């Protein structure tokens, strides 16, 4: 029987894995390694005495820190020393304010004109829950907002919105020059 090149590669990878496992077992003992006394205790549990209550006036007992918990302990210690520092911490996942484009606040009465210029009603879905509207390719349910305006109601071919200034206006499907598209 002849051993192929593929079988030789598989054998050498398996041999390297076994050698690595042996070196790991001999030189790098993990802290979670099972001890034999604990295993026998799991089979035949010993009777344990109830822990004694600690008086409330006693100083807190600091447990021996686990070497894998040192970062958490340091962070807890720092946060106890600096309770007001959390107000100054910024969200690292939020973009800086300089990256966000600031739009000027709409002038009262111009919200409807600005909305009609910037957004387009594409479809209306009437339903038992009040319906939905498709504005700029995004499906909005009653109560959701787009462009600072909240969708109030939908009816056949139109959507009623409330601007940021509290004024209500209506947007129609199709071109704004009142020509019927056929």
Instruction: Give tens-digit pLDDT for 148-157.
Output: 889 999 998 8
CB atoms within 10 A of CB 159: 25
- Please state the pTM of the whole predicted model: 0.39
Q: Looking at mean pLDDT, say which of 79-83, 103-107, 161-165 comes out highest.
A: 161-165
In a domain, residue 139? The reply is: yes
The parent domain of residue 141 ranges over: 111-172
Do the domain assignments include residue 124? yes
In a domain, 143, yes or no: yes
Residue 151 buriedness (CB in 10 A; 0-12 / 13-18 / 19+): buried
- The CA distance from 99 to 102, in Å, is 9
Token digits for 120?
A: 């387009």
Q: Please check whether residue 161 lies inside any domain of the structure.
A: yes
What is the tally of structural domains in the chain? 1
Distance CA 55, CA 53 (A): 6
- Is residue 122 within 8 A of residue 116, CB to CB? The reply is no
Residue 148 included in any domain: yes
Q: Is 47 part of a structural domain of the chain?
A: no
Site of tokens 């593929």: 6
Question: Looking at the domain assignment, is residue 96 inside a domain?
Answer: no
Instruction: Tell me, yes or no, whether 145 lies in a domain.
Output: yes
Q: Which pair of tokens denotes residue 103?
A: 């739009």
Give, in order, the Cα–Cα distances in Å from 39 to each of 34, 36, 42, 43, 69. 7, 5, 5, 7, 25
Cβ distance 157 to 149 under 8 Å?
Answer: no
- The model's pLDDT over 117-146, given as tens digits with 9 standing for 90+, comes to 888 999 998 887 788 999 988 888 898 988
């Amino acid at each position: 029987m002849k051993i192929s090149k593929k079988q030789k590669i598989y054998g050498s990878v398996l041999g390297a894995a076994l050698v690595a496992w042996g070196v790991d077992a001999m030189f790098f003992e993990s802290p979670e390694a099972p001890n034999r006394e604990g295993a026998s205790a799991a089979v035949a549990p010993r009777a344990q005495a109830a822990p004694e209550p600690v008086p409330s006036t006693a100083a807190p007992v600091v447990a021996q820190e686990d070497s894998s918990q040192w970062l958490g302990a340091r962070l807890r210690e720092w946060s106890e020393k600096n309770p007001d520092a959390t107000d100054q911490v910024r969200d690292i996942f939020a973009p800086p304010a300089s990256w966000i484009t600031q739009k000027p606040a709409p002038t009262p009465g111009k919200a409807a004109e600005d909305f009609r210029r910037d957004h387009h009603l594409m479809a209306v879905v009437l339903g038992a829950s009040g319906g939905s509207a498709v504005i700029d390719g995004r499906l909005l349910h009653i109560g959701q907002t787009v462009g600072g305006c909240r969708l109030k109601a939908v009816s056949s071919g139109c959507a009623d919105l409330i601007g940021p200034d509290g004024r209500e206006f209506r947007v129609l499907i199709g071109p704004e020059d009142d020509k019927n598209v056929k």
